[in-house]
A and B are shown apart, each in its own frame.
Chain A
Amino acid sequence: MLVSVLVILYSCDPTDIKLPTFEPQYIFPLINDQFTFDDITFISTANISESDDGTLIFTHLSEQDTLRVFDQFDIPDAQFDFEIPGISGLIDPFNFNFRISSQDIGIESETIPFLPAIDFPESSQTFNISEFQELNIQDGQLILRIDNNLPIAISEGFVIELKNNDGTVAISHTAQVGLPIGSSEEIVIDLANRTFNFPISTKVSNLSTLGGSNLIFDESSSIKMELSFENILLSSAIVLSERFQVATDFQLPIRFPNNAFITALKLRNASIDLIKQSGFDLPANLVVTFLDGRNNINEPLQFNGSLNQTQQAFDLNDAMLRLEAGELLNLNVSLDLDVQSPLRIEFNRPFNFEMKMSDITPKFISGHLGLFGGRIQSGLEIGLFDRIQSGNISFDGISATINLNHNMGIRSAVNENDDITFAGRNPRLSPGVTVDIGEQIRGLGLVKVSSQEEIESTKFEVEALDDFLSILPSDIQLSIPWEIGTRFVDTTQFLSKESFLTGQLEVAIPIRIDAKELIISDTIDFVFEPDVSFLEFVDGTFNYFLSSSFPLELKPQVIFLDSSFQVLDSLFILDRTIAPAKIVDGVIQEPSVVQFATNINEAKFRNLKKTHFAIPTFEMSSLGDGHISVRSDFNIDLDITADINTQIDVDK
């Protein structure tokens, strides 16, 4: 083997041999594209139906938007202040009496011919009020009344003192004048800001009489004193009490939105904050009872708190509340003081609370819900033609239906005062072209009220849709207003957590089109330059085969573009027209079949070498007036082949 190879190579070095220029001819497919009705449109055959007159009807449902109506019913926080009454600080008048009789100085009932001046010994007595240990008086009077029932006059200068339990003098009064026989004197002492500790003792000193004669003493001969505390307003007191209770009723108003009149709320959860605004420390329990509420085990709904904490939070999970007059929660608040005597009461610092009910999330609501609503945001792809580049196309008799579906057991409607809005862009058109749309449908009279739990359908003819469909949008954002509830009080309404509202738009478009210079195109990645240096293009032909069953006149063309979508060349220099296919009674009788050949010379080939994209286009126009029914089996089959002569020069 080695020898034979050596023989050959010795005789001739193959690499030194000049090979001839070969001229191979190639024929091969370039483009095989179909423009079927299904391909040209986004319409799937599942959405196509045939009407009585044979017209195809494209029915398209928008995306369905679902919302839970419950989430739309927002219960606001409720808040109110209350003050616990019943500890006013006003106490009833009370008095103490004591008496100094003649027997105290050794004089019995008798007639004494002459009596010299007498100094009475000091006299003390103790008084008490069982409920109080200490009184701090904000305002009030002490009235000291002295009756001289002795048969002799009392000299001035006697002193009356009230002493607290600790021996300090609370009040001291010195008489400036004497008391004649049978006279009385009343002295008023202001008690503001005075403090008394019980028991209180009285002390009378420096009491004396002038002398006299023929004085008749009997059993009633005495000096009588009375201490009356009147109009007493306490600032504070130390009370000796075993138990006391204070209770009162309040009403907590909840203002619902939408003029709702809610008779009952079943709560998923809610929180109550009890905030102490003022009040002294008092070791008492605070009990708040919802008079018309039940907890999750159907017991009376109440919570207990401490009176001394500034803020306390409570849950009302799974509570059931009934409301009076559609908005009022009836509460009972009580204080229950059980032990801890003696107890200091500060009457000038009343208990004042703020109660806040927040984060109210209901499970269901009974009552008149009022009217509330929103917008269903949905999407719709209604672009009919995928490969439309430009042109005009109009449709016949488009109708749209709004479907609302709910399971709330209450009335719903499309908001009569609002408009259905559409907005969208179409990036699917030929590269670099987008179309923005914004459309509103006004005054359609869409109100349709029903209490049935069924799909509500409102069908309407939409001429306005035709406007934006004519520019062939693709992605459309759809906004459907909705309204729920009634304008009148109907307490049989309710909302539950399973209350959903769904909405979508259904568009029916009869495929009867009137096309004017409607350009359908397709963009194909297309590279024509051979990737071998020794293969050279000489000349050739592009053969164009087309079969169309569209009943529209076609003007075909193929545009060649470079990588930046700049047009390099086109296949046909002159316009070519392809007659419509013959359709009889909607049946294709004879498709249009044509074949064109285009010479590709070297200059054209130089242009084609830069091609990155080829765009076959068809300008479609209806012949005559009127709309043409389009069938799903309409199509265009396009084949383009290359038949080229080349040269292979391996020396290159």
Chain B
Amino acid sequence: MKKRLTIIIFCLFIGNVQAQHNLQLQYGYRGGLAASRFLPSTFDMKEKSFSLETNFNVYFSNRAINYESFRTVSASKELSNQDIDQFLVNLNNRNTLTVGQDFLLLGVGFRTKINKSFFNWGVTLTDRAAVHLIYRKSLFELLLRGNRPFAGQTIELSPELRGRYFREIALNNTFKIKKSKNLGITFGYQLKYYWLLAGVFLENANLDFFTEETGRSLNIDYDYVYFSSGINDFSLTNSKGNGLGLSLGTTFEWQNRLAFDVAVNDLGAITFKKDVAIVKDSESFTFEGLDGEGLKNVNAVTDSISALIENEEVLQQSFRRPVGTQLLLQLSYQFTDYSSKENPTRFYLTYIQGFNEQPGISTNPRVIIAAHTRLFKSIYFGLNTAFGGLNPLAIGGLVGIRIRNLRFSIQSDDFTGFILPSKGTGIGLGFTFRYSK
């Protein structure tokens, strides 16, 4: 019991994560196939004619406990009531936990020339998995402080859960639509086919708990609809559904120094068709104490409690969810012209806005500033700081090396805790391998 409770408390308090965007990949590998996932029009083979890429990224962060506290607790092996209180203070009424990974299994890029114009082509195969849990602060307050502080109040306990795992096959293409001395405009798009493996959704669920002011009644109201697919018969090779998607982007470049990227990602929807379960229920249960009917009344209570856990399975063969569309706006400036002989340094200002809550996608806006440079023509280094969204502060970075046509880097969207322990509340980690010729 202790182990379970401790892990639950620990994970939920630290696991408050916003949607992640593999930022340093985007900044450190600008022009690369993997990096262009969020900004399709930035895909540019430049003088290279062929590339192979792979990238792995996991994201996990929290809001309620900073890394310093985490280290303190780890060292002392003890959580105090003050810690718990602080955790609760730090929590919003509605908190999101997202755990996910994007794994670019293989990306192949190449360039063609048609009518004196270059076209960049790329094909990627990516596994995308994410679980998105929204939980209420009041749930922990109820568990840890009891219902007495809530007498006379209705507290919302309803969780939301979205999780999905799918395989994405994308065709990337960019080409310049205008090229002048000062201004270059590049248009890019990605056509995507989604191959679904599993999904679980508990959305718009309501779970309200009311304690009458004098404690003379307790009431629970709830309603939910639960969708799942691929849970009972999960397989990495059997599709449970499919979908089509489209990403569009345009890059404006001024004198090859200043660039403005705009992109709309993941327009499209996915439909789960196999191993589908849809369950819904709606109940209201009030307990006012045992009365004189004795066992008869106890049975009535038991029946009501049974009704709480009984539900109605809806026979429906499929359900559809949006992939999760995002708008990205990015302004960047490079201090030197692009040249393999130079060590370019580039600054970024990025704005991200999601349009719907989906695993890995958030509707909270996010602003990131970043800088990236190359040292000694073969060592890459980058830093970024993200504000807004669910994370007050996320400092990330990238370290990489190039040896001839091979380039390898390790990047993190958030390692704030390692440099500012009292501010760091999350972690993200990834690596990228690229071969280009």
Residues in A lying within 8 Å of B, measured CB to CB: 1-4, 7-8, 11-12, 14-35, 39, 387, 522-526, 533-534, 543, 545, 614, 616, 639-643, 646, 648, 650-651
Docked pose: A376 CA to B71 CA in angstroms: 90
Is the Cβ of A19 less than 8 Å from the Cβ of B9? yes
- Which B residues touch A11, using CB under 8 A? 70-71, 74
B1 sits at the interface (CB 8 A): yes
- Which B residues touch A17, using CB under 8 A? 6, 10, 73-74, 77-79
B3 sits at the interface (CB 8 A): yes
- Which A residues touch B77, using CB under 8 A? 12, 16-18
- Which B residues touch A31, using CB under 8 A? 289-291
Is the Cβ of B6 less than 8 Å from the Cβ of A30? no
Q: In the complex, which of the residues B10, B289, B427 contacts A30, with contact meaning CB atoms closer than 8 Å?
A: B289
Q: In the complex, which of the residues A4, A39, A642 contacts B427, with contact meaning CB atoms closer than 8 Å?
A: A4
- Which B residues touch A387, using CB under 8 A? 292
Which residues, 63 to 84 on B, are CB-close (under 8 Å) to A? 70-71, 73-74, 77-81, 83-84
Residues in B lying within 8 Å of A, measured CB to CB: 1-3, 5-7, 9-11, 14, 58-60, 70-71, 73-74, 77-81, 83-84, 99-101, 129, 143-149, 151, 211-212, 214-218, 287-292, 294-295, 297-298, 427, 429
Q: How far is the CB of B290 from chain A (nearest CB, A)?
A: 5
- Which B residues touch A2, using CB under 8 A? 58
Docked pose: A4 CA to B414 CA in angstroms: 12
Docked pose: A545 CA to B212 CA in angstroms: 14
- Which A residues touch B292, using CB under 8 A? 33-35, 39, 387, 522-524, 616
Q: In the complex, which of the residues A29, A534, A614, A648 contacts B216, with contact meaning CB atoms closer than 8 Å?
A: A29
- Which B residues touch A28, using CB under 8 A? 147, 211, 215, 218, 287
Closest B residue by C-beta to A19: B79
Q: How far is the CB of B427 from chain A (nearest CB, A)?
A: 6
Identify 19 new A-B residue pairs, CB closer than 8 A, beyond the known A4-B58, A650-B1. A1-B129, A19-B2, A19-B6, A22-B81, A24-B146, A25-B148, A29-B288, A30-B290, A33-B291, A33-B292, A387-B292, A523-B292, A524-B291, A525-B290, A543-B215, A545-B214, A614-B290, A640-B289, A650-B6
A selection of 24 A-B contacts at a CB cut-off of 8 Å is: A1-B99, A1-B129, A4-B59, A7-B427, A14-B3, A17-B78, A22-B84, A22-B145, A23-B145, A24-B144, A25-B147, A25-B148, A26-B146, A27-B214, A28-B147, A28-B215, A29-B217, A31-B290, A387-B292, A522-B291, A524-B290, A524-B292, A639-B214, A651-B2
Is the Cβ of B216 less than 8 Å from the Cβ of A34? no
Q: In the complex, which of the residues B9, B73, B294 contacts A523, with contact meaning CB atoms closer than 8 Å?
A: B294
Q: How far is the CB of B387 from chain A (nearest CB, A)?
A: 22
Given known pairs A15-B3, A545-B214, A650-B2, the reply for A27 and B81 (CB within 8 Å) is: no
Docked pose: A285 CA to B270 CA in angstroms: 107
Is the Cβ of A32 less than 8 Å from the Cβ of B211? no
Q: In the complex, which of the residues B1, B59, B73 contacts A534, with contact meaning CB atoms closer than 8 Å?
A: B1
Pick the 10 closest A-B CB pairs, nearest first: A24-B146, A32-B289, A25-B148, A27-B215, A522-B292, A12-B74, A29-B289, A641-B215, A4-B60, A32-B288
Given known pairs A12-B70, A20-B79, A29-B288, the reply for A643 and B148 (CB within 8 Å) is: yes
- Which A residues touch B288, using CB under 8 A? 29, 32, 639
Given known pairs A7-B427, A26-B147, the reply for A18 and B78 (CB within 8 Å) is: yes
- Which A residues touch B81, using CB under 8 A? 20-22
Given known pairs A27-B147, A29-B215, A534-B1, the reply for A8 and B84 (CB within 8 Å) is: no
Of B10, B11, B70, most A-chain CB atoms within 10 Å: B10
Q: How far is the CB of A69 from chain B (nearest CB, A)?
A: 43
Is the Cβ of B427 less than 8 Å from the Cβ of A639? no
Closest B residue by C-beta to A649: B2
Q: How far is the CB of B297 from chain A (nearest CB, A)?
A: 8
Docked pose: A21 CA to B214 CA in angstroms: 26
Q: How far is the CB of A529 from chain B (nearest CB, A)?
A: 15
Docked pose: A524 CA to B291 CA in angstroms: 6
Q: In the complex, which of the residues B6, B9, B58, B291 contacts A32, with contact meaning CB atoms closer than 8 Å?
A: B291
Q: In the complex, which of the residues A16, A33, A650 contacts B5, with contact meaning CB atoms closer than 8 Å?
A: A650
Docked pose: A6 CA to B372 CA in angstroms: 29
- Which A residues touch B218, using CB under 8 A? 28-29
Closest A residue by C-beta to B290: A524
Of A17, A614, A642, A648, most B-chain CB atoms within 10 Å: A17
Is the Cβ of A29 less than 8 Å from the Cβ of B84? no
Q: How far is the CB of A415 from chain B (nearest CB, A)?
A: 44
Is the Cβ of B216 less than 8 Å from the Cβ of A545? yes
Docked pose: A522 CA to B293 CA in angstroms: 8
Q: How far is the CB of B293 from chain A (nearest CB, A)?
A: 8
Given known pairs A11-B74, A29-B288, the reply for A641 and B7 (CB within 8 Å) is: no
Q: How far is the CB of A543 from chain B (nearest CB, A)?
A: 7
Q: How far is the CB of A24 from chain B (nearest CB, A)?
A: 3
Q: How far is the CB of A598 from chain B (nearest CB, A)?
A: 14
Is the Cβ of A32 less than 8 Å from the Cβ of B290? yes
- Which A residues touch B58, using CB under 8 A? 1-4
Docked pose: A523 CA to B297 CA in angstroms: 11
Q: How far is the CB of B249 from chain A (nearest CB, A)?
A: 28
- Which A residues touch B100, using CB under 8 A? 1
Q: How far is the CB of B121 from chain A (nearest CB, A)?
A: 31
Docked pose: A476 CA to B81 CA in angstroms: 65
- Which B residues touch A614, using CB under 8 A? 290
Given known pairs A29-B217, A32-B288, the reply for A20 and B84 (CB within 8 Å) is: yes
Q: How far is the CB of B147 from chain A (nearest CB, A)?
A: 6
Is the Cβ of A15 less than 8 Å from the Cβ of B14? no
- Which A residues touch B151, using CB under 8 A? 27
Q: How far is the CB of A385 from chain B (nearest CB, A)?
A: 13
Closest B residue by C-beta to A541: B215
Closest A residue by C-beta to B3: A15
Is the Cβ of A15 less than 8 Å from the Cβ of B2? yes
Docked pose: A344 CA to B216 CA in angstroms: 109
Closest A residue by C-beta to B430: A3
- Which B residues touch A32, using CB under 8 A? 216-217, 288-291
- Which B residues touch A3, using CB under 8 A? 58, 429
Docked pose: A643 CA to B148 CA in angstroms: 8
- Which A residues touch B149, using CB under 8 A? 25
- Which B residues touch A33, using CB under 8 A? 289-292
Is the Cβ of B5 less than 8 Å from the Cβ of A19? yes
Is the Cβ of B291 less than 8 Å from the Cβ of A34? yes
Q: In the complex, which of the residues B79, B80, B83, B146 contacts A25, with contact meaning CB atoms closer than 8 Å?
A: B146
- Which A residues touch B6, using CB under 8 A? 14-15, 17, 19, 650
Is the Cβ of B9 less than 8 Å from the Cβ of A1? no
Docked pose: A3 CA to B294 CA in angstroms: 55
- Which A residues touch B148, using CB under 8 A? 24-27, 643
Docked pose: A28 CA to B287 CA in angstroms: 9
- Which B residues touch A1, using CB under 8 A? 58, 60, 99-101, 129
- Which A residues touch B5, using CB under 8 A? 19, 650
Q: In the complex, which of the residues B10, B84, B215, B429 contacts A4, with contact meaning CB atoms closer than 8 Å?
A: B429
- Which A residues touch B217, using CB under 8 A? 29, 32
Closest B residue by C-beta to A24: B146
- Which A residues touch B427, using CB under 8 A? 4, 7
Is the Cβ of A641 less than 8 Å from the Cβ of B73? no
- Which B residues touch A21, using CB under 8 A? 81
